[in-house]
Amino acid sequence: MKSIRPLTLVALLLLSGCQNPINDPIDSVVEVVTNPEQEIRKGERNYPFALAQSGGDLQSLPVTETYLNSLIQTLAQTANSPFPWEIKLVNDASINAWALPGGKMGVNYGLILAVETEAELVSVLGHEMAHSLELHGTGRETFGALVGLAAQVIEIGISEPGTQPGSNRLIGLGQNILMGQYSQANELEADRVGVDLMVRSGFNPEGAVGMQEKLAELGAGGNSIAQKLLGTHPISRERLAQIREVVARYPAGGRDMSPDFERARAELNAAKPALDQVTEARTLGGQKAFQDALDALEPALGTLPNEHSLHRLKAELLVADGRPREAIASALRVRELNPSDPISELLLGYCYDAAGDKANAEAARSRARRLTQ
């Protein structure tokens, strides 16, 4: 771990209102967002579905989630963002983060465990915030799928029986719309704006260099835990060269670590044995070893009994194993834990469908429709 550096010249520049060395990219960002209400609505409508497709959010780790939201609020205030930012901690061991329109973000717990410093983590959050503020997602081919995602899911219900459980394909659209790759120009712009956000917020911009170098090394070594992030944000020689050049324009120093970061990491490390069991259950489910997957999941449910994503996984596994009646009990538990989430109702409808109870299945889907209106 790197030691904490004092806020030296960076803090003085921030306090004095001195012009930053790359022509105020944040000021131009705010001008891009001409219809924030529309962007906010897009994000709110699609957030539950994006979270479900990413693995579900973790609700039993309040220290970590509170910490992440404090970081994003700091960056949002710096950017004078028109969006009400919110982060959910995603139940996925891979290194990844994503942002929807309007300030909704997901951060995999694997990212927090993979970084060496708080500044590296902030570099990813700043980069994702820049994509959202610059409306990069609006220009992606996959964004059309994102905008219509909620409506499509409500119409078709959950994935067809036989879809691999544990593969995070609950809503069964065949591809993860969050995985659309940004253009090289988008990536370069988000890097520049993200670094500027870091510095203005008091963080050490060297974290951005360290994070990209880490990802490049993992990608070169074929490490699977980084493939999701590299799939959407490929690290090129041009990106590495630019990030080093941009960071070199700023005075050295800024915050690398904090007690809050250490507390969040401690909470995650304490939960990691249970989270590893979830990863194992998903892997076994993907191999169609359904009973083995259920056996692997059971200890995690004992440790984290109020995690809706674990009960959702159990329901999927039970349906895949030909036990839809048992799955209904798990789906009802998901709804109990997450009553305002349309995914809860869709899961319940899926289980009723698999059990041959068409009336209750349609009733659940009707409730899901109301929750998305």
Res 2: pLDDT: 32
Q: Answer yes or no: is pLDDT of 232 > 80.
A: no
- Helices and strands, number each (H, E), in the chain: 18, 3
Res 195: pLDDT: 96
Question: With the C-alpha atoms ordered 145, 146, 148, 151, is the resulting torsion angle positive or negative?
Answer: positive
* pTM > 0.75: yes
Higher local confidence (pLDDT), 55 or 5: 55
Kindly give, in sequence order, each residue whose CB lies less than 8 Å from that of residue 159, ignoring residues fewer than 6 positions away.
Answer: 169, 170, 171, 172, 350
Percentage, residues of the chain above pLDDT 70: 74
Residue 118 near residue 203, CB atoms below 8 Å = yes
Half-sphere exposure of 87 (CA within 13 A, CB side): 28
Question: With the C-alpha atoms ordered 263, 264, 266, 270, is the resulting torsion angle positive or negative?
Answer: positive
Res 219: pLDDT: 67
Q: Average pLDDT, stretch 261-266?
A: 98
Res 33: pLDDT: 61
Res 149: pLDDT: 45
The token duo for 177 is 């719309």
Higher local confidence (pLDDT), 319 or 10: 319
* Number of residues that this document lists for the chain: 373
Q: Average pLDDT, stretch 344-363?
A: 96
- Which own/partner contact pairs does 91-94 have at CB distance under 8 Å and 24+ positions apart? 91/55, 91/56, 91/57, 91/58, 91/275, 91/278, 91/307, 91/309, 91/310, 92/54, 92/55, 92/168, 92/228, 93/225, 93/275, 93/276, 93/279, 94/224, 94/225, 94/226, 94/227, 94/228, 94/229
Res 357: pLDDT: 97
The token duo for 337 is 């834990």
3-state SS, residue 363 = helix
The token duo for 75 is 């960056």
DSSP-assigned states of every residue in 314-362:
HHHHHHHTT-HHHHHHHHHHHHHH-TT-HHHHHHHHHHHHHTT-HHHHH
Res 229: pLDDT: 52
Question: With the C-alpha atoms ordered 338, 297, 56, 130, is the resulting torsion angle positive or negative?
Answer: positive
Q: What is the 3-state secondary structure (H, E, C) of 258-282?
A: CHHHHHHHHHHHHHHHHHHHHHHHH
Res 182: pLDDT: 72
Closest listed residue to residue 194, CA positions, set 214, 218, 212: 212
Per-residue pLDDT of 26-54, as tens digits, reads 444 444 567 889 889 988 988 998 899 88
Rounded CA-CA distance 247/192 in Å is 9
Give me the residues paired with residue 97 across strands.
107
Per-residue pLDDT of 106-147, as tens digits, reads 999 999 999 999 999 999 999 999 988 887 665 443 444 444
Domain ranges for the chain, please list them. Answer: 8-248, 271-371
Rounded CA-CA distance 345/331 in Å is 8
pLDDT band per the 50, 70, 90 thresholds, residue 13 = very low
Rounded CA-CA distance 104/106 in Å is 7
Give, in words, the CATH class of 271-371.
mainly alpha
At 305, give phi and psi (nearest 5°): -70, -15
Residue 52 near residue 2, CB atoms below 8 Å = no
Q: Which of 5-19, 159-173, 218-232, 317-331 has the highest mean pLDDT?
A: 317-331
pLDDT band per the 50, 70, 90 thresholds, residue 172 = very low
Closest listed residue to residue 84, CA positions, set 50, 23, 129, 123: 129
Strand order in the sheet with 97-99: 86-90, 104-108, 97-99
The token duo for 364 is 């659940």
Q: Average pLDDT, stretch 274-298?
A: 97
Q: Which of 124-133, 155-164, 228-237, 351-360 has the highest mean pLDDT?
A: 351-360
Res 274: pLDDT: 98
CA 241 vs CA 92, 162, 209, 210, 244: distances in Å: 30, 46, 9, 13, 5
pLDDT band per the 50, 70, 90 thresholds, residue 184 = confident
